[in-house]
Amino acid sequence: MTTPTALGTGEAHTRLHELIVIDVRTPGEYAGGHLPGALNIPLDQIQRALPDIRHAADRGDVLVVCASGARSENACRLLAENGIDTATLSGGTGAWTADGHELHRPEGATRTTWGMERQVRFTAGTIVLLGLLLGLLVHPALQILSAGIAAGLVFSALTNTCGMAAVLAKLPHNRPRATDIDATLARLRTH
């Protein structure tokens, strides 16, 4: 098994022309702005894309990117388990823009899906409020909804994983169309 490495934004920016960049965020997040030349293969599609990513890695260095670095680290671990050398962008696209680098935003992009972190915050907050309201208005035991979300958030912080994000990523507005992923994999094969 290979060990994934992390590239800082400066090194990634300098080497961008020679890197094969894979963005593992949802299609909506990707459409909101991505590294120039990045290909969108959402995290839950990495397994399907393994042969094409392996082929690309044989031809050049692969940089895996997400919003903060957590999903790209997970993708790098999965790829490493399959013998594919990769690197992740430290701090993700957030660090990229904070360091003054531009994100590419396709002309005419109409997707306005919120970023995954924002979707998780909204969903968690809504369920907590709902649990508290139901606990006050219906039965105190229903506050267990709020406690469950709190426990999930603590677990998420301790493990640097997010079950809620995994569930939200499966919603239709966060899923790539089959034709989009097929086109991306075809581009990856010729990259």
Handedness of CA 116, 173, 9, 51 (dihedral sign): positive
Quote the tokens at residue 75.
């993708």
Provide the pLDDT for residue 95: 94
pTM: 0.75
Dihedral (CA of 26, 46, 63, 71) sign? positive
What is the mean pLDDT of the segment spanning 50-62? 92
- Same domain assignment for residues 53 and 105: yes
If asked whether residues 25 and 104 sit together in one domain, one would say yes
32 and 87, same domain (yes or no) = yes
The pLDDT-based confidence of 152 (bands split at 50, 70, 90) is very high
Residue range of the domain that includes 122 = 116-160
Q: Which residues are catalytic?
A: 66
Q: Give the whole-angstrom CA distance, residue 117 versus residue 78.
A: 21
Q: In this structure, is residue 166 part of a structural domain? A: no
Does residue 17 share a domain with residue 32? Answer: yes
pLDDT, tens digit, for every residue of 99-123? Answer: 999 998 876 555 567 778 888 899 9
- Structural domain contains residue 107: yes
pLDDT level of residue 24 (50, 70, 90 thresholds): very high
Tell me, yes or no, whether 169 lies in a domain: no
| 108 and 129 part of one domain | no
Each residue of 162-172: pLDDT tens digit? 889 888 888 88
pLDDT in the model for residue 1:
42
Same domain as 127, residue 59: no
Has residue 34 been placed in a domain?
A: yes
Q: Token pair of 145, please?
A: 């909804």
